[in-house]
Amino acid sequence: MIGITGYGGYVPRLRLSRQSAGQANAWYAPQFAGRKGTRAMANWDEDSITMAVAAARDCLGPAEDRSHVRAVFLASDTLPFTERLNAGVVAGALTLDEDVEALDMGGSQRAALSALTQALARARTGSGNVLVLAADNRRTRAASAQELEYGDAAAAVLVGQDRVIAEYLGAGTLSVDFVDHFRAAGEDVDYHWEERWVRDEGIGKLVPRAIAAALEQSGVRASQIDHFIFPSAFAKMDAQLAKACGIRAEAVVDTLADGVGDSGLPHGMLLLTHVLERARPGDHILLAQFGSGAQALVFRVTDAIGSFKPARGVSHWIARGAEERNYTKFLAFKGQLALERGMRGEQDKKTALSTAWRHRTALLGLVAGKCEVTGSVHYPPSRLSYDQGEPLQDTQKPHKLADRAARVLSWSAEYLSYHPAPPHHYGQIDFEDGGRILMDFTDLDVGEVDSGTAMEMVFRIKDIDERRGFTRYFWKATPVRVASPTSP
């Protein structure tokens, strides 16, 4: 049996109020002033890599040993690096073995489904589990429909042969150069074609062909589908497709448009992981996505579905949302609004690549050293341990900190230096079983932390060398939160 053995997702905490964005631009685009709901909004220190890491951790959970993951496929149309293996950065943050296969994919909205089919084919060879990740953090033009419709998110699916929770039954693929939108190399914003043409000639004619092929290969009738997933920013497009293909109306899955928005390339996988949280044994799932043609996959939920739970799950990420009504913050976080930084914000942030390489495990994976003689934890790790006044040499073994419980020892919040999201919160973090690091805090509100506050680690952007176009990553601390069911 080949199929999904684990899943996870990630939705940023911030949710931009569509009403606030519409009102800010009402002088120019009054047609958007009454829009309701929210859309997921990445923090300034989040991108496709950091969101992919968050989704992967949701899928894999806290684990000392992740050697069962033998490949990482990262699908995204907004990868921060054109020539640097983005999936390699993710693999380092997850402390995967260095002999893992890593691959970047993109180029169409259905690239995540293509990555998933490639992972299924690889898993059939019995060469280990494949971690499929999808993430997007798209830019739009101010006062555009896309600005309100889009959202930022990531999803993760683990594919293999052991303890399969959703068996893969078949797929259908159609690769044609139907251009509904495009983005040229070097451009930040997509160019979109007329909506009616895309709906009628594109989605309406191409997607049913992929769905029919997937149903035929899987041997499943359209009437047997219990969960039909088709992400689209076009209202009721999924319901129209279901009717055209003979799928029951009650099988159509909510696209999360009101609270999260359309996250683009990862949205199909995000909805899949959301469905798996509540799916029952025997359920049939049909996942389809449009882009440069269309692709559809069919899964059958197995009796093992109850044996797996993500660390948080998409439902948790949705429930913990915090509404953001400051439209200019959204523009600044997307890099579309240049704010005055002052002289303190003029530093050259060139990264020493040689130093980054030598300390890659400590920086990307947040791996400390634990002395085998005294039990003391040292970060960064080194060949020398200083305990009880006596230095010891070569007694430290790798000790992962990213998934360990932590608390604030001391902290500060200040406006003196430039920070993209003032005030700048940082402080000393003490880890359970030892280890102390001075680090930045993120995703918090003023007054939310104090000495003793429980914190957890998140992989984020440390800073960006804008002169050379290099992004540096590190770990930050954020408060441990219990999701509120009343959150957006």
Kindly state whether residues 49 and 66 are assigned to the same domain.
yes
Kindly state whether residues 354 and 460 are assigned to the same domain.
yes
Q: Is 488 domain-assigned?
A: no
Kindly state whether residues 393 and 412 are assigned to the same domain.
no
Query: Which parts of the chain sit beneath pLDDT 70?
Result: 483-488
Q: Is 150 domain-assigned?
A: yes
Return the pLDDT at 484: 53
Burial grade of 33 (CB within 10 A; 0-12, 13-18, 19 or more)? middle
Q: Is 469 domain-assigned?
A: yes
Q: How far apart are CA 219 and CA 237, in angstroms?
A: 25
Which of the listed residues 353, 380, 398 is the one where a domain comes to its end? Answer: 398
Cβ 300 vs Cβ 221: under 8 Å: no
Residue 486's contacts (CB-CB under 8 Å, 6 or more residues apart) are none
Q: How far apart are CA 463 and CA 460, in angstroms?
A: 9
Q: Is 338 domain-assigned?
A: no
Kindly state whether residues 297 and 438 are assigned to the same domain.
no
Return the pLDDT at 483: 60
Q: Is 79 domain-assigned?
A: yes
Q: Cα dist. 20→35, 64, 153, 328, 330 in Å? A: 9, 44, 21, 10, 11
Return the pLDDT at 486: 38
Return the pLDDT at 347: 85
Q: Is 487 domain-assigned?
A: no
CATH code of the domain covering residue 436: 2.40.50
Kindly state whether residues 385 and 349 are assigned to the same domain.
no
pTM for this structure? 0.96
CATH code of the domain covering residue 80: 3.40.47.10
Kindly state whether residues 304 and 421 are assigned to the same domain.
no
Bridge partners (DSSP) of residue 3 are 160, 167
Q: Is 486 domain-assigned?
A: no
Kindly state whether residues 193 and 277 are assigned to the same domain.
yes
Kindly state whether residues 389 and 459 are assigned to the same domain.
no
Return the pLDDT at 126: 86
Q: Which tokens hold the place of 389?
A: 């006044």
Kindly state whether residues 89 and 9 are assigned to the same domain.
yes
Domain count, the chain: 3
> Which among 23, 17, 15 has a CA at the least distance from the CA of 36?
17
> Which among 456, 453, 364 has a CA at the least distance from the CA of 96?
364
Kindly state whether residues 74 and 35 are assigned to the same domain.
yes
Q: Is 412 domain-assigned?
A: yes
Q: Which tokens hold the place of 233?
A: 């920013």
Return the pLDDT at 71: 98
> Which among 77, 303, 92 has a CA at the least distance from the CA of 185?
77
Q: Which position has the token pair 């003391």?
A: 376
Kindly state whether residues 290 and 356 are assigned to the same domain.
no
Kindly state whether residues 94 and 14 are assigned to the same domain.
yes
Burial grade of 23 (CB within 10 A; 0-12, 13-18, 19 or more)? middle
Q: Which domain range does residue 146 map to? A: 3-333
Return the pLDDT at 97: 96
